[in-house]
Structures are given as structure tokens and as C-alpha cells.
């Protein structure tokens, strides 16, 4: 039975796994898939975040198949000194699809079943197939006349970069008079150059052959030119956190960058192409469109990556406040009953006011209360603002309109002294004094009706004085009263 192992994963919290076959049937729930038959399989991975699951590549488990080699009757031909015409033929192979002849240094010299047109040396055949099977022969020796041994010269190869075929091969011994010729061959034994420097080549392994004054050509050195992978960006795991209420707290992170020659250079730009960041992840962003430009140490670039970051609003809790009841003008501190540590608070003079009286970063308002008033309070986070909560201030007695005169002459007009709205204060105490300070009237309650008499007799016309105490916690109110 087949298996798929060795996949490395990471993510937030607990990871869950689900293997499915090409019929979308679940065949496993562990990271490693074991004891399954041949077929195609794919892994789904999910973590504890709100991100969608990711999927692996499709893996193919195939049926095993072997390779057999028969070296009996192998035909080996010695190479002449002035030409590479040796060969090794006759290795019988079954079950293989790929062939590789290598020398003692492990250098690949041919990819055919028969090795032909080679110089002297020892070679073995490595046969492989698509099932992962591999078989190899012993080393065979191809003889040749003894060639000249050349001085140690430098052979170098640049890397292929930026997705171009721009490898340059160089050899430092081109002034050696004993070198009568040179050939650069690629992995397919194709001639790519006959000079000490060859340019505009793809990546791969190249072999330099030198010919001496006797016409003997030898492999001087093999060298591998690598390709620096193109910069690639994987946005599958990118996390775009939107701005919230215009607070400039958006971010873009989680982009996976591979390839390129390090160090990589990052440049984030806004819609005006102004650079705003030089790291792979970027934070503290307002809403907008941003582009990430990436360049490697070889000045290779990829097309800019574009991201759009939105601004989200949120519904804030409407502040609630108790009614403030006081008995005299004073400065009061009024706290929001359901405060939040995030944002600020605004105080408005009316429900429709567009400009706040004050905006502050804490939830306790200090108000100079001089009369009955209604204010409105909101919570503010960035550009978001809650509904308006009501703050009422009641100044006890402020609504009372106390008459300053009456005429108790029994004409039916203004015969009694009473105070409108006094019924709101059932514990009110009213005292009236004459000009000499003698008390002529006292009443407790809310239904005041003074007829201008003292002990049943009408009081003389003139000015009198009253003292009113609405409750034990309120200051006294006083004034003059004219009896006409």
C-alpha cells in the first residue's frame, strides 16, 4: 500500500486535515496518509482562524515497477587520441525509461542507453523509471592514448537571472600554446561554444574539452550554472485587515515570497506612488489601494502586487446616563453608565447639533449646571459615532415662577398667593414675615393658598418677605411679596 509523508504545516491554533481521492472521497484525517492504493490524492488543511482552508498539490501514488540490467556481452571500444570516438554498447536493460551515463566524478556524459563518442575514462550506466526505481552497472573502462595534462586554470559560470538565458561560461587558459582547440558542450552533448568565453546560455551543466598539440582531446572540467528562481509571490495566506472607522489601523501581511537573489528589496506604494513602507508586512494603513514592488540583489523585479484595503464601520453602543437632579446651580460630574475604553465621547447641546460642545477621551463630563437642561452624548471611534444618549439636568425649583404680589380684596381677582408647580415638592415649607421680622404665615405641603390673613385678620397692605425650603437637601429660596 502507498503513503504520502513529510508535509510540513503551520497555522493558528489547532490544525485539521482531510485527505481526499480523485472521487472527492475522504480517505484520511491525519497529516500523513498511509495504506492507500494507487491514485491521486489531495490534502485540505484548516486552522482556528477565520481564513478559508488551503489545499496541497495533487499527489500521485503509482504502482511499483522494477528494472533489470544484463552486462554480459558488453562491447567497449577504445577512444582514439585525436577524436572522442570510444563507446560502450550492449548493456541489456528492461523496465527503464531514463538513462544516465556518468564518469567516476559523477558527471553526466550521456542520457542514452548506449554510450557513444566518448573519450577515455570509466563510465557506468544508471537506469531509472517513473516508479522511482534505479539500477546501475559497474564502471566500464574506455581506453585512450595518454593526453597532456594541462595546468590548473579557472573555469567559472555565472547564474541565469531574471528568467533569461544569460549564463556566461569563462576559461582562463586561452593563452596556453599547447591548447590547440576547445569545445563547450551542454548536457545534451551539443556544442555551445569554442572560445574561452561563451555567453547567453541557459542554466545547466557544461563540459569544457581541451585539445592538445597531439590532437588528443580531454574533458578539462564540468561546471554547473544555476538559475536563480524568479521572484514569486503567494497571496493565498495574505491577511488584509481593513481600517476601522478611519483610524488608520489597517494592515497587509502574510504574503509568501520565494525565489530571487537575496537580499530582497520591498517597496510599498500608495495610490500616489509614494513609498510608505520597506518591509514585507505593512501596518497602520488607511483605506486605499496599495502596491508591493519587489526587487532582488540582481535587480530582477516582478509585476507589482496590488491590494485594496477597505474601511469598515461599526455600530457603537449608545451612551446611557442618569438624570442629574440638583437643588442649586453647581458644577456636576456626570459619568457614562456604560463606558468603553475605546474611542472618545462628545457632548452636544441638542439632538440636531452638528458641532459638539466638547469632545474628550474619557467618559465623565463636567457640566456647569445653572438651570434645567438636556444634553446629548455620543461615543466616537475614528469616523464612527453612536446614536445620541440623553443627559437631563434638573435644577429643583428652577421651574417655579413665584408671584411677587397679590390683592386679597375679595374681588375674585388675584385674591390668593399660590405658586404654580409647587405640587412637585410635597415636603415644601413656606414661611412669610413682615418688615419687622415677625412670622405671619407658615405652611408645609404642596397646595399653598395664602389669603393674606394672620390669625383670621387681614394683614396690612405692604411688603412682606417669604422663605421657601423645597426639601431638606435643597437651599432655601427667598424673596419679597407685596400685598396690595
Cα–Cα–Cα angle for 212, 213, 218, rounded to 5 degrees: 15
For residue 445, is it within any domain?
yes
If one counts the domains in the chain, the total is 6
* β-pair type (204-211, 217-225): antiparallel
Phi and psi, residue 423, nearest 5°: -65, -10
Contact 116, 91 (CB under 8 A): no
Contact 182, 191 (CB under 8 A): no
Predicted local distance difference test score (pLDDT) of residue 36: 81
Per-position pLDDT tens, the chain of length 484? 578 898 988 888 889 999 999 889 999 999 999 888 767 889 999 998 888 999 989 987 765 567 888 988 899 988 877 678 899 999 999 989 999 999 999 999 999 999 999 988 999 999 999 888 899 999 999 987 677 889 899 999 999 999 999 999 999 999 999 999 999 999 999 999 999 999 999 999 999 999 987 778 889 999 999 999 999 999 999 999 999 999 999 999 999 999 999 999 999 999 999 999 999 999 999 999 999 999 999 999 999 999 999 999 999 999 999 988 777 777 889 999 999 988 899 999 999 999 999 999 999 999 998 888 999 999 999 999 999 999 998 877 767 788 999 999 989 899 999 988 888 788 889 999 999 899 999 999 888 899 999 999 999 999 999 998 887 767 678 889 999 8
One domain for residues 172 and 213: yes
Predicted local distance difference test score (pLDDT) of residue 62: 61
148, 154, 220, 484 from 151: Cα distances, Å: 10, 10, 10, 138
Tell me the residue range of the domain where 288 lies.
234-311
For residue 149, is it within any domain?
no
One domain for residues 251 and 276: yes
396 vs 476: CA distance, rounded Å = 11
Give residue for cell 564518469: 103
Nearest to 135 by CA among 93, 177, 107: 93
Contact 223, 198 (CB under 8 A): no
Predicted local distance difference test score (pLDDT) of residue 143: 86
The cell for 316 is 457603537
Predicted local distance difference test score (pLDDT) of residue 400: 78
For residue 386, the number of C-alpha atoms closer than 13 Å in the C-beta half-sphere is: 23
**Biggest CA-to-CA distance, the chain:** 158
For residue 121, is it within any domain?
yes
One domain for residues 299 and 353: no
267 vs 277: CA distance, rounded Å = 6
Q: Is the dihedral of CA 459, 460, 461, 467 positive or negative?
A: negative
Domain boundary among 311, 337, 357: 311
Domain boundary among 142, 163, 196: 142
Predicted local distance difference test score (pLDDT) of residue 38: 61
For residue 316, is it within any domain?
no
| 3-class SS of residue 424 | helix
Q: Rounded to 5, what percent of the chain is helix, strand, coil? A: 0, 45, 50
One domain for residues 335 and 282: no
Categorise residue 260: left if φ over 0, alpha if ψ from -120 to 50, beta otherwise: left
For residue 150, is it within any domain?
no
| 3-class SS of residue 427 | coil
98, 313, 348, 390 from 381: Cα distances, Å: 67, 9, 16, 19
206 vs 193: CA distance, rounded Å = 10
One domain for residues 44 and 91: no
294 vs 256: CA distance, rounded Å = 12
- CATH value at residue 340: 2.60.40
301 vs 230: CA distance, rounded Å = 8
For residue 108, is it within any domain?
yes
One domain for residues 330 and 388: yes
One domain for residues 431 and 478: yes
pTM over 0.75: no
One domain for residues 77 and 56: no
Alpha-carbon Rg for the chain, nearest whole angstrom, is 49
Q: Is the dihedral of CA 200, 201, 203, 207 positive or negative?
A: negative
Q: Is the dihedral of CA 227, 233, 237, 241 positive or negative?
A: positive
For residue 319, is it within any domain?
no
Domain boundary among 225, 246, 277: 225
For residue 460, is it within any domain?
yes
One domain for residues 169 and 204: yes
One domain for residues 57 and 72: no
Amino acid at each position: 500500500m502507498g503513503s504520502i509523508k513529510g508535509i510540513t504545516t503551520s497555522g493558528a491554533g489547532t490544525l485539521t486535515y482531510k485527505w481526499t481521492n480523485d472521487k472527492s472521497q475522504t480517505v484520511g484525517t491525519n497529516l500523513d496518509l498511509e495504506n492507500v492504493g494507487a491514485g491521486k490524492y489531495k490534502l485540505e488543511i484548516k486552522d482556528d482562524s477565520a481564513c478559508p482552508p488551503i489545499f496541497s498539490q495533487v499527489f500521485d501514488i503509482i504502482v511499483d515497477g522494477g528494472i533489470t540490467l544484463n552486462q554480459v556481452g558488453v562491447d567497449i571500444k577504445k577512444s582514439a587520441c585525436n577524436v572522442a570516438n570510444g563507446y560502450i554498447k550492449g548493456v541489456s536493460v528492461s523496465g527503464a525509461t531514463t538513462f544516465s551515463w556518468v564518469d567516476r566524478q559523477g558527471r553526466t556524459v550521456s542520457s542514452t542507453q548506449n554510450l557513444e563518442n566518448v573519450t577515455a575514462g570509466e563510465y557506468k550506466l544508471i537506469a531509472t523509471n517513473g516508479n522511482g526505481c534505479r539500477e546501475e552497472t559497474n564502471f566500464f573502462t574506455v581506453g585512450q592514448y595518454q593526453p597532456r595534462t594541462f595546468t590548473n586554470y579557472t573555469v567559472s559560470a555565472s547564474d541565469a537571472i531574471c528568467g533569461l538565458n544569460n549564463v556566461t561560461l569563462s576559461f582562463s587558459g586561452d593563452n596556453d600554446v599547447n591548447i590547440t582547440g576547445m569545445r563547450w558542450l551542454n548536457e545534451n552533448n551539443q556544442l555551445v561554444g569554442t572560445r574561452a568565453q561563451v555567453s547567453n546560455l541557459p542554466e545547466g551543466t557544461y563540459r569544457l574539452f581541451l585539445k592538445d598539440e597531439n590532437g588528443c582531446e580531454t574533458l578539462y572540467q564540468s561546471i554547473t550554472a544555476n538559475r536563480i528562481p524568479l521572484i514569486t509571490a503567494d497571496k493565498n495566506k495574505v491577511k488584509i485587515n481593513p481600517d476601522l472607522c478611519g483610524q488608520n489601523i489597517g494592515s497587509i501581511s502574510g504574503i509568501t515570497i520565494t525565489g530571487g537573489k537575496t537580499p530582497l528589496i520591498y517597496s510599498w506604494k500608495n495610490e500616489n506612488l509614494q513609498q510608505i513602507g520597506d518591509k514585507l508586512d505593512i501596518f497602520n494603513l488607511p483605506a486605499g489601494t496599495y502596491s508591493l514592488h519587489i526587487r532582488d540583489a540582481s535587480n530582477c523585479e516582478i509585476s507589482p502586487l496590488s491590494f485594496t484595503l477597505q474601511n469598515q464601520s461599526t455600530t457603537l453602543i449608545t451612551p446611557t446616563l442618569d438624570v442629574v437632579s440638583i437643588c442649586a446651580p453647581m458644577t456636576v460630574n456626570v459619568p457614562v453608565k456604560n463606558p468603553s475604553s475605546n474611542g472618545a465621547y462628545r457632548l452636544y447641546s441638542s439632538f440636531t447639533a452638528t458641532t459638539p460642545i466638547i469632545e474628550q477621551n474619557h467618559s465623565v463630563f463636567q457640566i456647569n449646571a445653572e438651570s434645567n437642561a438636556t444634553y446629548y452624548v455620543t461615543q466616537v471611534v475614528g469616523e464612527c459615532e453612536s446614536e445620541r444618549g440623553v443627559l437631563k439636568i434638573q435644577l429643583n425649583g428652577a421651574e417655579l415662577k413665584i408671584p411677587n404680589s397679590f390683592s386679597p380684596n375679595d374681588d375674585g381677582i388675584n385674591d390668593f398667593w399660590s405658586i404654580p408647580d409647587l405640587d412637585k415638592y410635597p415636603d415644601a415649607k413656606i414661611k412669610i414675615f413682615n418688615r419687622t421680622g415677625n412670622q405671619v404665615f407658615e405652611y408645609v405641603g404642596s397646595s399653598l393658598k395664602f389669603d393674606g390673613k394672620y390669625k383670621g385678620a387681614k394683614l396690612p397692605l405692604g411688603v412682606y418677605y417669604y422663605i421657601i425650603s423645597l426639601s431638606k437637601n435643597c437651599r432655601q429660596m427667598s424673596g419679597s411679596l407685596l400685598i396690595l
